[in-house]
Chain A
Amino acid sequence: MTTHAPLAMLLPAIPFAAALVTLLLPQRSRAVAATLGIAGAAGALALTLVLLLTFDQPYGGYVELVRFGELAVSFGVRVDTAALLVAVATGVVALAVQVYSVSYLHDDQRYAPYAAQVSLFTAAMLLVLVAGDLIVLLVGWEVMGICSYLLIAHDRRLPAAPGAAVKAFLVTRVGDVGFWLGIILLGVGAGSFRIADVLAAVTAGEISGTVLTVAALGLLAGVAGKSAQFPLHTWLPDAMAGPTPISALIHAATMVAAGIYVVFRLYPVFSGATGVLAVLGVMAAVTMLLGALAATAAEDIKRVLAWSTVSQLAYMAGALAIGATAAALFHLLTHAAFKALLFLGAGIVIHAVGTNLMSGMGGLRRALPATFWSMTIGLAALVGLPPLAGFWSKDAILYAASGTAGWVAALVFAAGLATVVVTAWYATRLWLRTFFGAPRPSSQEGSPLQAMAVSGDPSSKPVHGAPPLMLWPVVALAVPSALLGFAAFAEAFVPWLQTPDPVEWAGEYVAGAQAPVPVLAEQELLHIGVFMVVPVAAVALGIVLAWAMWRRDTAADPARLLGPVRPVFAHAFYLDQVQHAVVVRPVTAFARAVRRTDEVVVDGAVEGTGRGTLGIGALLARAHRGAVPRAVAAVLGGALLFGIVAVTLGGAW
């Protein structure tokens, strides 16, 4: 049994090295930066595949970094199939994004730092995936956050970008406060930060009761922040201000999925803590519906996809809440594929049309045929049309929800089913408004469609065909979106998705030690049976509804028929404004108050003592302004005073 711990440690190192080298390059060298970026992503992907193929059982390896008292922090890895599968997904999407960005940002002269930051992000994501130590996991976790901050604010032209970047980082950072506390409670409780020790301690019951619950809730807060779950979801739609490939990589496939992955990896902590999974379940249900409904009324194509991501992540969270960890991970993988595809496709569409708003699109199926077909596959997978990947993974979740006892499962199932309908609705709306109907002139003049509309000839090719470097990744991603579902049929694949039983290999692996085969909790992923009809019917319902509303007036937006509810959905239930009013404004007001008190009271006291001393000095000086008799009086008076006091009190003390 060969363990590849050192190799696994190398995994985050490759893109990190690429990032460092690209950062040191002068800004002008685009070609070198691009190649380095692609090489980094490809290298990581290749190494992951090697590790996956030569994998036989989970292993870990640790190098002690630093010791604080008896708590040590060690740079360690803990590799299992789940980690490697998500790593493969990350690698694929990262490679696709690097290739795609080369042409998408062809006119951006700050490409080198952009490529470096993407590589750095990939390294951080891989670090989170393979980290064997909670603190190292936290390092990867926060470096991802800062990379998303830097990349959102990358585009100089968008005035909203800096604000969105700060909002993204701060909302996740608020969640991370809980994450910090969770990790610290677990580490202090277990006496070590290694995940293996922590899980062993949890299962052995050393950490239990309120400590475990609070730690789990803390981790949950961090996950909610990072995976944009209610109530910390407000940053994801605004993060769309970043370049589209970034939205694809970070805000669709990898970073937002990291939260779900951490819950998967530390599952014993959550299952051990009473009531935490219930909280997760409720949160998931709420977020599912919230995301889907908000997507229905969004006008910007990227915001639709962002809200869709929020609701799909809620699916995965729901699955975790009811114990279907394999289904959750399976949906994570399929979602990574088709959501990345959709975003990159949207990028091509925006590139072609020149605007994000769907009002400026229409009838693009002939102008961008390849994009049209791949996005159709993507949308179909998103909706869950059999036999595409989305159907199998979402169906697994719904089936698991229906099969598990308890009100949480019922809630998840109900919300899931409703969301399937709404998802189908907005997906079809997007599909029809972008690719069908008459091409609508976008508000910004000079867009290629403008030319097409003016010339009245729909068939004339718009100036911007999809450049090959952007098209190939989209098409490539279409393959897993379509076929990944069938992987569920391969019996080797299912155990890969299982969470290895924590107790079995709690001990770290010294290279070469014989590790027992993990006993798998039998979760079967696949079932063919009558139950499959229910979700398919829901999808059909959603599609027909959307199609009917659209057919009435192909130029107008089907969302207009939502009536009074539309603005509520468009502003996502005004949660953004609520968050601003409840959190942001009070904190800034309190800060101003604290500053004033600090300057007036504390500083005032200090300056006051200064002025007071000078005042007393002035007083005494005035007392000395008299003439000589006053001095003589002072001498005699002083002698008299001292005499009287000496006589009366005597040597009393």
Chain B
Amino acid sequence: MRPVIPYVIAALLFGIGVYGVLRRRHAILLLMAVELMLNAVNIVLVTAATTVQATLAAAGVGTPYTGHVFALFIIVIAAAEVGVGLAIVLQLFRLRSSAAVDTVPLSDPDPPPDAAHATAAEPDPPTAEAVPR
């Protein structure tokens, strides 16, 4: 019989993660939400591994640990991402003294005469939403 509860937990966790990613303005908190999503995946993997192990053990074929290994890898990936991510967010914070994700524009701002090098310290923190270009 397939375990249902862990899948439900994983689904909920992933939902919360997604909600966190979409709502949170601060980069670090957004990172945490992503970690939640990754851990949800881990849960799915571990439960799936046990069910596979059960079916395979019955059939006598021995490759039981794929799921677990996959979970380990995901943990490693998450760790690496957090490491690099924090460094980048820090750099942004140092430059913009704000790590708000929604102030990072996707398309090029109106090219002020000298768009090449933004001055180091921005005198006034940018308003919540840059004037729509």
Contacts and interface: CB of A to CB of B under 8 A. Distances in A.
Interface of A: 621, 624-633, 636
Contacts of B132: 625
A632 B105 contact: no
A631 B103 CA distance: 13
B22 A625 contact: no
A627 B101 contact: yes
Contacts of B102: 627-629
B18 A627 contact: no
B107 interface: yes
B22 A626 contact: no
A324 B104 CA distance: 102
Contacts of A632: 21-22
A624 B22 contact: no
Contacts of A626: 105-106
B117 interface: no
A586 B21 CA distance: 73
A631 to B, nearest CB: 6
Contacts of A630: 106
Nearest to B23: A629
Contact of A636 (B21, B103, B107, B133): B21
Contacts of B104: 627-628
A624 B105 CA distance: 9
B107 A624 contact: yes
B18 A636 contact: yes
A187 to B, nearest CB: 70
B71 to A, nearest CB: 21
Contacts of A633: 22
27 contacts: A621-B107, A624-B106, A625-B105, A625-B106, A625-B107, A625-B132, A626-B105, A626-B106, A627-B101, A627-B102, A627-B103, A627-B104, A627-B105, A627-B106, A628-B101, A628-B102, A628-B106, A629-B22, A629-B101, A629-B102, A630-B106, A631-B106, A632-B21, A632-B22, A633-B22, A636-B18, A636-B21
Given A626-B105, A629-B101, 12 more contacts: A624-B106, A624-B107, A625-B106, A626-B106, A627-B101, A627-B103, A628-B101, A628-B106, A631-B106, A632-B22, A636-B18, A636-B22
A633 B18 CA distance: 9
Contacts of A625: 105-107, 132-133
Nearest to B21: A632
Nearest to B133: A625
Interface in B98-133: 101-107, 132-133
A628 B26 CA distance: 12
A83 B55 CA distance: 113
Nearest to A636: B18
Contacts of B106: 624-628, 630-631
Contacts of A636: 18, 21-22
A312 to B, nearest CB: 85
A628 to B, nearest CB: 5
Nearest to A633: B22
Contacts of B18: 636
Interface string B74-115: 000000000000000000000000000111111100000000
Interface in B27-53: none
Contacts of A621: 107
A394 to B, nearest CB: 93
Contacts of A628: 101-102, 104, 106
A486 B104 CA distance: 113
A636 B17 CA distance: 12
Contacts of B107: 621, 624-625
Contacts of A627: 101-106
4 closest Cβ contacts across the A-B interface? A627-B102, A628-B104, A628-B101, A625-B107
B89 to A, nearest CB: 12
A431 B115 CA distance: 96
B78 to A, nearest CB: 17
Nearest to B102: A627
Contacts of B21: 632, 636
Contacts of B103: 627
A630 B106 CA distance: 9
Nearest to A624: B107
B49 to A, nearest CB: 24
B27 to A, nearest CB: 9
A89 to B, nearest CB: 86
A636 B22 CA distance: 9
A376 to B, nearest CB: 96
Nearest to A625: B107
B15 to A, nearest CB: 11
Nearest to A627: B102
Nearest to B132: A625
A624 B102 CA distance: 13
Nearest to B109: A625
A627 B129 CA distance: 9
A621 B105 CA distance: 13
Contacts of B101: 627-629
A633 B101 CA distance: 13
Contacts of B105: 625-627
A98 B14 CA distance: 107
B111 to A, nearest CB: 14
